[in-house]
Protein backbone atom coordinates (compact mmCIF):
# COMPACT_ATOMS: atom_id res chain seq x y z
CA UNK A 1 0.00 0.00 0.00
CA UNK A 2 2.80 2.39 0.91
CA UNK A 3 4.55 1.63 -2.41
CA UNK A 4 1.38 2.52 -4.36
CA UNK A 5 1.11 5.89 -2.60
CA UNK A 6 4.74 6.73 -3.32
CA UNK A 7 4.36 5.61 -6.94
CA UNK A 8 1.28 7.80 -7.51
CA UNK A 9 2.91 10.78 -5.81
CA UNK A 10 5.97 10.34 -8.05
CA UNK A 11 3.82 10.15 -11.22
CA UNK A 12 1.84 13.22 -10.14
CA UNK A 13 5.04 15.18 -9.51
CA UNK A 14 6.49 14.24 -12.89
CA UNK A 15 3.42 15.48 -14.75
CA UNK A 16 3.18 18.61 -12.59
CA UNK A 17 6.78 19.60 -13.32
CA UNK A 18 6.35 18.99 -17.05
CA UNK A 19 3.13 21.02 -17.13
CA UNK A 20 4.79 23.86 -15.20
CA UNK A 21 7.72 23.90 -17.64
CA UNK A 22 5.41 23.99 -20.66
CA UNK A 23 3.22 26.76 -19.18
CA UNK A 24 6.22 28.97 -18.34
CA UNK A 25 8.00 28.46 -21.66
CA UNK A 26 5.82 31.16 -23.23
CA UNK A 27 6.37 33.50 -20.27
CA UNK A 28 10.12 33.81 -20.89
CA UNK A 29 11.47 35.74 -23.87
CA UNK A 30 15.22 36.12 -24.39
CA UNK A 31 16.36 38.92 -26.69
CA UNK A 32 20.10 39.20 -27.35
CA UNK A 33 21.31 42.78 -26.90
CA UNK A 34 25.00 42.60 -27.71
CA UNK A 35 27.72 40.04 -28.33
CA UNK A 36 31.09 41.44 -29.33
CA UNK A 37 34.83 41.25 -28.80
CA UNK A 38 35.33 44.94 -29.69
CA UNK A 39 34.23 48.32 -28.39
CA UNK A 40 32.23 50.42 -30.84
CA UNK A 41 35.38 52.11 -32.18
CA UNK A 42 36.79 48.72 -33.27
CA UNK A 43 39.35 48.15 -30.49
CA UNK A 44 39.63 44.73 -28.85
CA UNK A 45 38.10 44.45 -25.38
CA UNK A 46 40.65 43.41 -22.75
CA UNK A 47 39.69 42.79 -19.14
CA UNK A 48 41.91 44.41 -16.52
CA UNK A 49 44.03 42.24 -14.22
CA UNK A 50 43.11 42.13 -10.55
CA UNK A 51 40.14 41.32 -8.35
CA UNK A 52 37.04 41.74 -10.50
CA UNK A 53 34.42 44.30 -9.53
CA UNK A 54 31.25 44.87 -11.55
CA UNK A 55 29.46 48.20 -11.13
CA UNK A 56 26.05 49.00 -12.60
CA UNK A 57 24.84 52.60 -12.88
CA UNK A 58 21.77 54.38 -14.19
CA UNK A 59 22.96 57.60 -15.86
CA UNK A 60 20.48 60.38 -16.65
CA UNK A 61 21.24 63.34 -18.92
CA UNK A 62 18.82 66.27 -19.23
CA UNK A 63 17.82 67.53 -22.71
CA UNK A 64 20.77 69.47 -24.13
CA UNK A 65 23.05 68.16 -21.36
CA UNK A 66 26.46 66.58 -21.86
CA UNK A 67 28.68 64.18 -19.96
CA UNK A 68 31.80 66.25 -20.60
CA UNK A 69 34.92 64.78 -22.16
CA UNK A 70 36.00 61.65 -20.33
CA UNK A 71 37.34 58.14 -20.80
CA UNK A 72 36.84 54.73 -19.21
CA UNK A 73 39.91 52.65 -18.26
CA UNK A 74 37.77 49.48 -18.01
CA UNK A 75 35.37 47.69 -20.36
CA UNK A 76 31.74 48.72 -20.05
CA UNK A 77 28.40 47.91 -21.61
CA UNK A 78 25.72 50.54 -22.10
CA UNK A 79 22.06 50.28 -23.04
CA UNK A 80 20.08 53.38 -23.86
CA UNK A 81 16.77 52.99 -22.05
CA UNK A 82 15.21 56.34 -23.03
CA UNK A 83 15.98 59.28 -25.29
CA UNK A 84 18.47 60.06 -28.05
CA UNK A 85 22.20 60.21 -27.31
CA UNK A 86 25.03 61.37 -29.54
CA UNK A 87 28.54 60.20 -28.65
CA UNK A 88 31.50 62.05 -30.14
CA UNK A 89 35.07 60.75 -30.05
CA UNK A 90 38.04 63.12 -29.85
CA UNK A 91 38.95 62.17 -33.45
CA UNK A 92 35.55 63.45 -34.66
CA UNK A 93 33.71 60.15 -35.12
CA UNK A 94 30.08 60.34 -34.01
CA UNK A 95 27.59 57.64 -33.02
CA UNK A 96 23.89 58.39 -32.46
CA UNK A 97 21.83 56.04 -30.31
CA UNK A 98 18.08 55.72 -29.89
CA UNK A 99 16.26 54.06 -26.98
CA UNK A 100 16.85 50.30 -27.06
CA UNK A 101 20.36 50.52 -28.53
CA UNK A 102 23.23 48.69 -26.83
CA UNK A 103 26.97 49.06 -27.26
CA UNK A 104 30.35 48.21 -25.83
CA UNK A 105 31.74 51.57 -24.78
CA UNK A 106 35.14 52.79 -25.91
CA UNK A 107 38.09 52.08 -23.59
CA UNK A 108 40.87 54.61 -22.89
CA UNK A 109 39.42 56.91 -25.57
CA UNK A 110 38.20 60.44 -24.85
CA UNK A 111 34.55 60.91 -25.73
CA UNK A 112 31.56 63.11 -24.91
CA UNK A 113 27.90 62.07 -24.68
CA UNK A 114 25.21 64.63 -25.48
CA UNK A 115 21.44 64.41 -25.19
CA UNK A 116 20.20 65.62 -28.59
CA UNK A 117 16.52 64.98 -27.87
CA UNK A 118 13.70 66.78 -26.07
CA UNK A 119 13.37 64.20 -23.28
CA UNK A 120 15.84 63.00 -20.65
CA UNK A 121 18.30 60.29 -21.67
CA UNK A 122 18.52 57.26 -19.39
CA UNK A 123 21.44 54.87 -19.82
CA UNK A 124 22.09 51.61 -18.00
CA UNK A 125 25.87 51.20 -17.79
CA UNK A 126 27.68 48.10 -16.51
CA UNK A 127 31.43 48.42 -15.86
CA UNK A 128 33.71 45.35 -15.69
CA UNK A 129 36.52 46.80 -13.59
CA UNK A 130 38.73 45.84 -10.69
CA UNK A 131 38.58 46.81 -7.04
CA UNK A 132 40.04 50.28 -6.47
CA UNK A 133 40.20 51.31 -10.14
CA UNK A 134 38.23 54.38 -11.28
CA UNK A 135 35.45 53.84 -13.81
CA UNK A 136 35.58 57.32 -15.34
CA UNK A 137 38.50 59.70 -15.85
CA UNK A 138 37.51 63.28 -16.75
CA UNK A 139 39.61 65.08 -19.37
CA UNK A 140 42.00 67.75 -18.07
Q: Which residues contact 81 (CB under 8 A, 6 or more apart)?
A: 58, 99, 122, 123, 124
Which domains occur in the chain, in start order? 52-138 (2.60.120.10)
Residues 57-69: what's their mean pLDDT?
A: 98
Give the number of other Cβ atoms within 10 Å of residue 43's Cβ: 14
Q: Around 91, how many Cα atoms within 13 Å sit in the side-chain half-sphere?
A: 5
Rounded CA-CA distance 25/67 in Å is: 41
**pLDDT exceeds cutoff 60 at 130:** yes
pLDDT score at 67: 98
pLDDT digits (tens, 9 = 90+) for 74-123: 999 999 999 999 999 999 999 999 999 999 999 999 999 999 999 999 99
Amino acid sequence: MKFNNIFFIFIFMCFSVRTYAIENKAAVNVMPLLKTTQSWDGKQIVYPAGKAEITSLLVEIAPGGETGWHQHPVPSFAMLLEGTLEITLKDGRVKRLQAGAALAEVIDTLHNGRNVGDAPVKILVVYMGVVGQPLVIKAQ
